[in-house]
């Protein structure tokens, strides 16, 4: 059920990782598509190992450091991920705090809201930049002879992100100029 554990399987289907690595990847590679804290990751990995979805190899490091616990997906985990991937996804709710604030634009000071729109636009401009860099990076890693290269799937998702950021930026600009004309 929970898509959090499927997000973890998603990462492990591509390469073995430690819990620490997964946290890093969720907050960078998967970009802001999925995030998680260590409190969710570590206990969930223990459960997933008990259920045979992943397996564990403990790698010793320097003495002063906790051993790295590197998890790999099992055949059963891969099957489960494939099954879940092909299942219908429920419709999502956007639930964006800034949009909720925009719904209250009429009762706020126009000058402040102009500022907020500019800040938001810059924030999404920055995300766009990151995604564009990621596309170049992924294109470099792409194996053009393999039509089932996971990189192709990564690219599709990042491309969604790029269009989304562009849309958000345009919406901010348009709304800001409407606000200006209203004054």
* 157 binds a copy of itself per the rule CB under 8 A: yes
Burial class (CB in 10 A: 0-12, 13-18, 19+), 5: buried
* 84 contacts 6 by C-beta, under 8 angstroms: yes
* 2 binds DNA per the rule CB under 7 A: yes
d(CA 129, CA 122): 10
Write the CA distances from 106 to 100, 149, 174, integer angstroms: 12, 49, 16
* 175 binds a copy of itself per the rule CB under 8 A: yes
Task: State which residue, 1 or 147, has the beta carbon closest to DNA.
Answer: 1
3-state secondary structure of 39: helix
Cα dihedral across residues 73, 28, 59, 141: positive or negative: positive
Q: Which of 14, 69, 116, 166 binds DNA (CB under 7 A)?
A: 69
75 interface partner picked from DNA, a copy of itself, none, CB below 5 to 8 A per type: none
Least Å from the CB of residue 164 to DNA: 18
Residues β-bridged to residue 54: 73
* 62 binds DNA per the rule CB under 7 A: yes
Write the CA distances from 98 to 22, 104, 109, 113, 124, integer angstroms: 28, 10, 15, 11, 12
* 24 binds DNA per the rule CB under 7 A: yes
* Residues in 85-114 at the binding interface with a copy of itself, rule: CB under 8 A: 85-86, 88-109, 112-113
* 83 binds DNA per the rule CB under 7 A: no
Site of interaction with a copy of itself (CB under 8 A): 3, 6-7, 10, 13, 30, 32-35, 78, 81-82, 84-86, 88-109, 112-113, 116, 119-120, 123, 127, 147-150, 152-154, 156-157, 159-161, 163-164, 167, 170-171, 175, 178, 182
């Amino acid at each position: 059920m929970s898509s959090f554990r499927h997000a973890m399987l998603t990462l492990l289907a591509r390469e073995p990782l430690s819990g620490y690595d997964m946290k890093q990847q969720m907050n960078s590679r998967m970009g802001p598509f999925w995030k998680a804290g260590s409190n969710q990751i570590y206990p969930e990995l223990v459960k997933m190992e008990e259920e045979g979805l992943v397996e564990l190899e403990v790698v010793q490091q320097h003495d002063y450091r906790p051993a790295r616990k590197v998890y790999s997906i099992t055949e059963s985990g891969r099957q489960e991920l494939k099954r879940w991937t092909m299942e219908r996804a429920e419709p999502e709710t956007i639930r964006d705090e800034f949009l909720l604030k925009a719904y209250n634009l009429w009762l706020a000071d126009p000058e402040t809201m102009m500022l907020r729109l500019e800040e938001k636009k810059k924030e999404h401009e920055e995300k766009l930049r990151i995604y564009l860099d990621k596309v170049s990076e992924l294109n470099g890693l792409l194996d053009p002879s393999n039509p089932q290269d996971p990189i192709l799937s990564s690219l599709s998702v990042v491309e969604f992100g790029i269009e989304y950021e562009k849309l958000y930026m345009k919406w901010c600009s348009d709304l800001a100029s409407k606000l200006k004309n209203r004054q």
